[in-house]
Structure 1
Amino acid sequence: MVTSNKSNELVMVEKAYVNWVKMHASSKQPVFKKAKNKLKPCLNIKVSKKPRLGDFATLQKAINAVPAINLCRVVIFIGAGTYREKVEIPNTKAYMSLIGAGADKTIVEWDDTADRTGQSGRKLGTFASATFAVNSPYFIAKNITFKNNAPSPPSGALGKQAVALRISADKAAFIGCKFVGAQDTLYDHLGRHYFKDCYIEGSVDFIFGNGLSYYKDCHLHAISNSYGALTAQKRDSFLQETGFSFVNCKITGSGALYLGRAWGTFSRVVFSYTYMDKIITSRGWYNWGDKNREILTAIVFVFAYAAGAAGAVDGAERGRGLDKGMMHGFKQGSLVSGDHHKKASL
């Protein structure tokens, strides 16, 4: 059974999370459906590598045991250990919380790549290469490492996308988690997402997709031996309310790193109060070979007053210009309003 302290903590996290969601409740994308969150856990499940200490020995079996069209908060506690399995949460199993024993202790890993042949006899593609895939809303993960063990591909290699985690649902939160891979580590696919105190490692486009996501106090680490890219945001329309916002983060690593590549014609990524190591290219961003995206995109706005931007992009911003009013709005989280999360006791 979950302890009262842990129950109270989950409720506090959930309430702060719901407040953040309400701050951006005007989203018009079809994926954003109205639903009432469930705050109080009604079912607790334990997963452990030691059979006597858990209800299940694998994470997927624990997820499979949750009733379809789940209507209450289910908390799955995952004991220490490396769980080598490919995991997927279907869209019929909402309100799931996964709590690890610590990001360095609870690890979920696999090694699929986009060019690997799946059970259907076809190539998996980037979407299906994920070690861990979430398709249900109101998901929470805390203190877990999600890892794709596929080796880092040489420059220019094709079909080597290797996703550690894909989130394709609305209203998800990740606290104290690690996402480890090389090319395409974190597929921030669709929906509103909150990342707090997370570590994200990769080489090329290692945070990518068309989510509306807020990254707070995260560590972004590049492992490229040549040129790499941190983000590839896929906002394809000026009317789409999507984009990535990074606040109080730090960027470290190796190689020469673009802060972003304009995967979408109207890509939007914002960095504020972010430390940048001496690996950021002076150009800052790449137009994906399409000069039109230099006019239409707002791929990267970098606030030059970010603390310790030793090797940061030249100038106050890259992409289209920001006046002081717009800059203030992005700093305060107008792109993805997450201030209410500061109240969460994590």
Structure 2
Amino acid sequence: MNLHLDLKLTQAESNKLNISVNPNGSGDFKTITEAINSIPAPNNRRVIVFIATNVYREKIVIPQSLPFVTFLGDATKMPTITGNNKASTIGSDGKKLGTLNSATVAVNADYFMAINVIFQNTASPRIGSNEDQAVALRTSGNKSAFYNCRFHGFQDTLYDHNGLHYFKGCYIQGTVDFIFGHGRSLYEGCTIESIAQNLGFITAQERSSVSMESGFSITNSKVLGSGQVYLGRPWGPYSRVIYSYTNMNNIILPQGWDDTMNAQNSSLTAYYGEYKCSGPGSNLARRPPWANCAICNMDTYLDEEPQ
């Protein structure tokens, strides 16, 4: 792995700015949106936004021109940023938002960080609807990190859209495709909980070509909850997901992986790996022959720049 320091990040961290949000007026701002709007663009310094414990009903977009923003909450009583938009919600332009714009919090900037924050989308899916994708957080910038955060939702909770991302000690909840996108991301020490009543899918990793450097690595984590759940299904023929050293309870279907979503016969090209996992859901006896039980070179995987 290439361990050289990121010069942009080093410079940004040497010139930090702290601002605070509290609806009671004791902070610098009463809303998170006001705090974000106060940051001059383009930004080149680490701006730490201390968010007081409360429920914030805001739709937040961090533009590409504002990298190096940190959301910091109280670990003992985390602030919640909540919304209820879904793909079928009509936006201000009279058009449906679509999945991309349904996010409660959308991060388009690089070097974003969140610590001790709950991201939530309360829009629940309707039976028979195909427009109920409801994103709690979309991360589209590069080199973002999330520590001890919680992502609450149903379908498409966490849109790991694009870039290199790190999730440490996070809780991720949902029903269908609730970790999805074409990010290249490491999930370490996370709790992944299905709240599906019937059939559920954890990941839908998007990788449309063999040259696209993307994929999800889930390691030293826990998979639990309800329903009958697949570890993942492909969103794109070259989908790539690896679980390692992860405990899986009995919600995981014996097949483990599903390849029916992609018409391009992704069972021939997808890479789904499991390595030294544990628990009743980790039994490999009935996994499909195209799923892999192999060692992935994560040093190489993480070192390459996103395309």
Q: Same fold (TM over 0.5)?
A: yes
**Contact 1:104–1:145 (CA under 8 A) maintained in structure 2:** no
Number of aligned residue pairs: give it.
301
| 1:50 CA drift (Å) | 1.5
- Structure 1 residue aligned with 2:236: 264
| Partner Cα separation in structure 2 for residue 244 and residue 73 of structure 1 | 27
Q: How does 1:170-209 map to 2 (within 5 A)?
A: 170-209=142-181
**Contact 1:103–1:145 (CA under 8 A) maintained in structure 2:** no
- Residues 82 and 127 (structure 1), Cα distance of their counterparts in 2 relative to 1, 3 Å cut: same
- Structure 2 residue aligned with 1:236: 208
- Structure 1 residue aligned with 2:124: 151
- Residues 267 and 313 (structure 1), Cα distance of their counterparts in 2 relative to 1, 3 Å cut: farther
1:312 aligns with 2:267: no
- Structure 1 residue aligned with 2:23: 49
**Contact 2:154–2:174 (CA under 8 A) maintained in structure 1:** yes
| Partner Cα separation in structure 2 for residue 93 and residue 275 of structure 1 | 38
**Contact 1:302–1:318 (CA under 8 A) maintained in structure 2:** no
| Secondary structure, counterpart of 2:165 in structure 1 | strand
| Partner Cα separation in structure 1 for residue 143 and residue 119 of structure 2 | 19
- Structure 2 residue aligned with 1:335: 301
**Contact 1:101–1:143 (CA under 8 A) maintained in structure 2:** yes
1:36 aligns with 2:8: yes
Aligned-residue sequence identity (percent) comes to 41
- Structure 1 residue aligned with 2:187: 215
**Contact 1:249–1:274 (CA under 8 A) maintained in structure 2:** yes
- Structure 1 residue aligned with 2:106: 133
- Structure 2 residue aligned with 1:122: 95
1:62 to 22, 35, 40: 35
**Contact 2:194–2:202 (CA under 8 A) maintained in structure 1:** yes
**Contact 1:280–1:313 (CA under 8 A) maintained in structure 2:** no
Which structure exhibits the higher relative contact order, with contacts defined as CA atoms closer than 8 Å and separated by 6 or more residues? 1
| 1:286 CA drift (Å) | 1.3
**Contact 2:115–2:146 (CA under 8 A) maintained in structure 1:** yes
- Structure 2 residue aligned with 1:88: 61
**Contact 1:301–1:319 (CA under 8 A) maintained in structure 2:** no
- Residues 224 and 67 (structure 1), Cα distance of their counterparts in 2 relative to 1, 3 Å cut: same
Letter matched to residue 314 of structure 1: L
| Secondary structure, counterpart of 1:336 in structure 2 | helix
Q: TM-score, normalised by structure 2?
A: 0.92
- Structure 2 residue aligned with 1:6: none
| Partner Cα separation in structure 1 for residue 72 and residue 14 of structure 2 | 15
Aligned-residue CA RMSD (Å)? 2.2
| 1:283 CA drift (Å) | 1.3
Letter matched to residue 86 of structure 1: K
| Partner Cα separation in structure 1 for residue 237 and residue 3 of structure 2 | 26
Alpha-carbon displacement from aligned partner over 1:5-55 (angstroms, at most 9, x marks no partner) = xxxxxxxxxxxxxxx8x5699xxxxxxxx971122343110001220x201
Alpha-carbon displacement from aligned partner over 1:159-209 (angstroms, at most 9, x marks no partner) = 100000000010000000000000000000000000000000000000000
Q: TM-score, normalised by structure 1?
A: 0.82
- Structure 2 residue aligned with 1:275: 247
**Which structure 1 residue ranges, 4+ long, deviate > 6 Å from structure 2?**
none
Letter matched to residue 221 of structure 2: C
| 1:289 CA drift (Å) | 4.9
1:294 aligns with 2:267: yes
| Partner Cα separation in structure 1 for residue 59 and residue 30 of structure 2 | 14
| Partner Cα separation in structure 1 for residue 179 and residue 4 of structure 2 | 21
